[in-house]
Chain A
Amino acid sequence: MTAKIKPTKGAPYARILGVGGYRPHRVVPNEEILKHIDSSDEWIRSRSGIATRHWAGPDETVATMSVEAGGKAIAAAGLTPEQIGGVVVATVSHFKQTPAVATEIAHRLGAGKPAAFDISAGCAGFGYGLTLAKGMVTDDTAEYVLVVGVERLSDLTDLEDRATAFLFGDGAGAVVVGPSEEPAMGPTVWGSEGDKSDTITQTLPWDVYRDEKAAEVRFPAITQEGQSVFRWAVYEMAKVAQQALDEAGVSPQDLDVFIPHQANMRIIDSMVKTLELPEHVTVARDVETTGNTSAASIPLAMERLLATGQAKSGDTALVIGFGAGLVYAATVVTLP
């Protein structure tokens, strides 16, 4: 017999209610990177726009940084940790396959017993998490969901690779997604292109350390094919960003803020040009002082734009993440 199952009654819509960020204390200038590679401050700045980045100390773990950022986001949303019903953590630099770091973060925040899990979607991880959170809120599986993007990419950086040694940074960014009476998160345009999985990848899988010669193996790092990534990010992702605007029914004229994944200033500049965004649109350029923090970059940039007054609550923002997979996710949101 097929029993009748009661339908779920979620919120009509979802919105971002609060954002929080955590940047590690230690600021690393290009000069420090130059101890390891034959390059120059001018070369690094012209290729990436990066001047400094934050690298985490021993006490600044994936969990502790997330708790800091998450706590701020919950407070900014006017909530208490017990009200959080879901914790979604996007990261590629939590070094335990199991358990998920999300459960530790939920516990340390004092969030009770929320659903908690990690997702692996590279630099698009935050957008993937945001999309899951929106579904959870509108499906009534959680009233409030904490979405964290967190990375310690300094652990996965090859300091002797002159093409990537200067790129990556550490940090955590978080938002709380909750119910809304009005639409405040557009449809997500997302996807994957697995035929390009070698374009950005970890150099070696962890199981290489099962081998008895493991001590001779260099620690894995993130490597990428710069030109291929640049072409894909600028030209293909501009189309995805445009599609997210179209599907949200928002014209570039109505857009206030553009927050692309902070991969590289050259990618950001070329995307803005390709998208032909109007002059009045504020563009996040947090990469200059934060580096590429993968899943953390969008919420960190969002937090900084709001904290510095470059963007304000209620502004309409286009966000797009893209990276290893290759994967991408773009959507239009109302800023908290």
Chain B
Amino acid sequence: MAATQEEIVEGLAEIVNEIAGIPTEDVLLEKSFTDDLDVDSLSMVEVVVAAEERFDVKIPDDDVKNLKTVGDAADYILKHQG
């Protein structure tokens, strides 16, 4: 069954917590991965790969650069999940 936006944000929070050590409660829709959550460009790749596995979605390299905020990523996954 496809995940809801709330479940996706929850999942992204766990992933960001594991990769960048950011508390899950700080991972909110409007937060920028780079500016607010200390996720640099390489960690972002790790977040994306973990999200791909968790939500059964493909996020090509060309699309990664458009995912600036947690909300961007959640919307993308919501739209593309298998």
A36 at the interface (CB under 8 A from B): no
Given the complex of chains A and B, what is the CA–CA distance between A104 and B46 in angstroms?
45
**Min CB distance, A161 to chain B, in Å?**
15
- How many A-B residue pairs have C-beta atoms within 8 angstroms? Tell me: 27
Residue of B41, B61, B64 ringed by the most chain A CB atoms within 10 A:
B61
Interface residue total, chain B, C-beta cutoff 8 A: 11
A219 at the interface (CB under 8 A from B): no
Contact B42 A266 (CB under 8 A): yes
B44 at the interface (CB under 8 A from A): yes
Contact B46 A227 (CB under 8 A): no
Contact B45 A227 (CB under 8 A): yes
Contacts of A231 in B (CB 8 A): 45, 48-49, 61
Select from chain B the residue with minimum beta-carbon distance to A163. B41
B40 at the interface (CB under 8 A from A): yes
A206 at the interface (CB under 8 A from B): no
Residue of B41, B46, B48 ringed by the most chain A CB atoms within 10 A:
B46
Residue of A47, A227, A234, A266 ringed by the most chain B CB atoms within 10 A:
A227
Contact B61 A228 (CB under 8 A): yes
Given the complex of chains A and B, what is the CA–CA distance between A234 and B61 in angstroms?
14
Tell me whether A46 and B45 are in contact in the complex, defined as CB-CB below 8 angstroms, given that A225-B61, A231-B61 are known contacts. no
Contacts of A228 in B (CB 8 A): 61
Tell me whether A47 and B61 are in contact in the complex, defined as CB-CB below 8 angstroms, given that A231-B49, A235-B49 are known contacts. no
Contact A47 B64 (CB under 8 A): no
Contact A227 B49 (CB under 8 A): no
Tell me whether A227 and B61 are in contact in the complex, defined as CB-CB below 8 angstroms, given that A235-B49, A270-B46 are known contacts. yes
Select from chain A the residue with minimum beta-carbon distance to B46. A270
Give the dominant DSSP class at B's interface.
helix
Residue of B42, B44, B46, B64 ringed by the most chain A CB atoms within 10 A:
B42
Contacts of A46 in B (CB 8 A): 40
**Min CB distance, A115 to chain B, in Å?**
41
When the two chains form the complex, which single residue of B40, B46, B65 contacts A47, counting CB atoms closer than 8 Å?
B40
Interface residue total, chain A, C-beta cutoff 8 A: 12
Select from chain B the residue with minimum beta-carbon distance to A264. B42
Select from chain A the residue with minimum beta-carbon distance to B62. A228
Contacts of A117 in B (CB 8 A): none
A13 at the interface (CB under 8 A from B): no
Contact A47 B42 (CB under 8 A): yes
Contacts of B48 in A (CB 8 A): 231
Select from chain B the residue with minimum beta-carbon distance to A48. B42
**Min CB distance, A325 to chain B, in Å?**
17
A183 at the interface (CB under 8 A from B): no
Please report which residues of chain A, range 26-58, place their CB below 8 angstroms from some CB of chain B when the two chains form the complex: 46-47
Please report which residues of chain A, range 201-243, place their CB below 8 angstroms from some CB of chain B when the two chains form the complex: 225-228, 230-231, 234-235
Given the complex of chains A and B, what is the CA–CA distance between A226 and B43 in angstroms?
12
Contact B61 A226 (CB under 8 A): no
Contact B45 A230 (CB under 8 A): yes
Contact B41 A226 (CB under 8 A): yes
Contact B40 A227 (CB under 8 A): no
Q: Which are the 3 A-B pairs with shortest beta-carbon distances?
A: A228-B61, A231-B45, A230-B45
